[in-house]
Chain A
């Protein structure tokens, strides 16, 4: 139950890098979805990953969270190797172990636990921080009951944080779309992450909701001391809150830099904005 047995990097370089990915490649059969990508997330930063549809953004996400195993490359998070190689077989840390290390995520297509209440969705996110065993539950030992009370209280705090106070009893699937997005963030925050991965958090939102979400993400960094990796199609969001922007196209990094630099980069304009995939 303690921290997963993850090998630490031998040296102590890049101490201010939370994520360091090198030459990360993912092939699906003949298709190279992500091709030799180098990618860093400095501690405390908001970094965006943009690119046209099918560029490989979600695939890259999934390799960080352990859902996909890279075909090649290395990823370290906070000094832990997320990918290891034994022989010529690549291995990823299991998603639940990655979560325990401190990475929380949301999904491009909302994946809440539909018929659980909003509060219980958050309490599932708290799972890794609750330690009681099944026998504690069977006997309802005091430690277990104290922990349950804590999870309710903490769950309600988190509901309030994401602006869903008073809606804890509603089933996730019955919440309006925007609230579902917020609840997903709340559930991810419940795992107490150091790094929050958001896959298109403003998809399907109107401009005022989008502005609200943008402000909310920015506030999270300061309040919770988080780093954020953001996938986003809405350029206003990306340009508004990112410290760094990386642009993927056909699985390759075609540009990397500050929002202003990226915006001015002609390759980006051609590959991304030129194709009309973005709104402005």
Chain B
């Protein structure tokens, strides 16, 4: 962004100078960008301005228009807020599944950890104590009441911790096996939250008799709405909550982008491309993968804490396998590996799910009350969409360049290129075969549970092991 060529000072001073200078440079940088890629920059600017103005325009013009003149599917404040929530989750899952290539089918678990962090630490649920911290809640009010700005980092830490705990036992797994273990984790966590409603526990100083920790089926409510400077940002505060969601989303985008363009981002992609080679280049694959799990999970933690605080309630029913799949569909439809792609995927899917299909349903009932309600078939529709997408544009709406290349001219390209140069007479034909076989092996093993054993196959062995 900044085009400064001055040497960079270390430490906080350097950082502050950099902040100031890049802020001053911003108009110039923008002008240069405008000259370089005019269409793209203009489109991005218009989109950003429109996004920022949308909540206001929606209230002043779109909703009245759709109520009084002609019904059009303009998403309401609550839907836009959920677009932000799922956008944050899609960006987080993209770190795990898109950058590092680790398929996580239980991502919803971390969303749950975020939500219950808010439920425990900002509600009257634990009424036997009263802890009120920096909160607009009256001192002495029953329950624990932490302010939102403390909940967010706490939820990130909680979710990241569980992300690492889940990651640790799955480090040696890949592909299908990893998917199954994460799926199990995603199923277990909500069940645990559901069932910790009547806990009897006696150990050391802890005596729990029929303790209701999580509210069981009913969940926990009310949860304090986020509030800053005396303004509330809950579901009843409309526009304010949308803007809070936007700020969190922008934070998520910047964080993910900065991570992608760093040593860690390169390490993740290297692991996705060839884990063995990555480790041989000095990447600690254990630590790097755990980092992906932990950081990816922390995004869901933020989404969860915002969801619970915004809605003012949480129950384990929110955290079903379907939600995990929904986020994964957002990532895949949008373009796995590309931050902007997965964001678009999230916005579109939430829009279709929460605004477009209900709107369509209303139009249907206007025609005839006997017509089916498309909202009930949302997952069917997503499934069809996914299949169609896989058939016609497998890399997603806005693909990462890498995935597009992988999916379109997949395996043979490189092997043929290698084989062509193998024509040299100095090389025994046998070796050419070996090279090809190994090439195929490398491709096949990409999805397999790969032991270090696979490093470099002996010639005779390679094709056989490709199938294992």
Contact = CB atoms under 8 A, between A and B. Distances in A.
Are A and B part of the same complex?
yes
Nearest to A184: B277
Contacts of B255: 138
A86 interface: no
Interface string B2-44: 0000011111001100100000000000000000000000000
B442 interface: yes
A204 B435 contact: yes
Interface stretch (A16-24, A94-102, A214-222, A240-248): A94-102
Given A58-B456, A96-B285, A204 B406 contact: no
Interface string B252-280: 00010011011111110110011011111
B458 A54 contact: yes
A173 B262 CA distance: 22
A22 B233 CA distance: 69
B435 A124 contact: no
Interface stretch (A62-70, A158-166, A254-262): A62-70
Interface in A83-132: 94-96, 99-100, 105, 107-116, 120, 123-125, 127-128, 130, 132
B424 A110 contact: no
A270 B258 CA distance: 59
B48 to A, nearest CB: 20
B282 A99 contact: yes
In this complex, the member of A108, A115, A207 whose beta carbon has the largest number of chain B beta carbons within 10 angstroms is: A115
Q: Interface SS of chain B: helix, strand, loop or mixed?
A: helix
B456 A114 contact: no
Closest CB pairs A-B (n = 3): A137-B262, A99-B282, A142-B14
Given A94-B284, A123-B263, A128-B281, 8 more contacts: A62-B455, A96-B279, A111-B442, A114-B273, A124-B281, A132-B263, A206-B426, A207-B426
Interface of A: 53-54, 58, 62, 65, 67-68, 94-96, 99-100, 105, 107-116, 120, 123-125, 127-128, 130, 132, 134, 136-149, 151, 171, 173, 176-178, 187-188, 190-191, 199, 203-207, 210, 233-234, 277, 279
Interface of B: 7-11, 14-15, 18, 255, 258-259, 261-267, 269-270, 273-274, 276-285, 291, 295, 401-402, 405-406, 413-414, 417-418, 420-422, 424, 426-428, 430-432, 435, 438-439, 442, 452-453, 455-456, 458-460
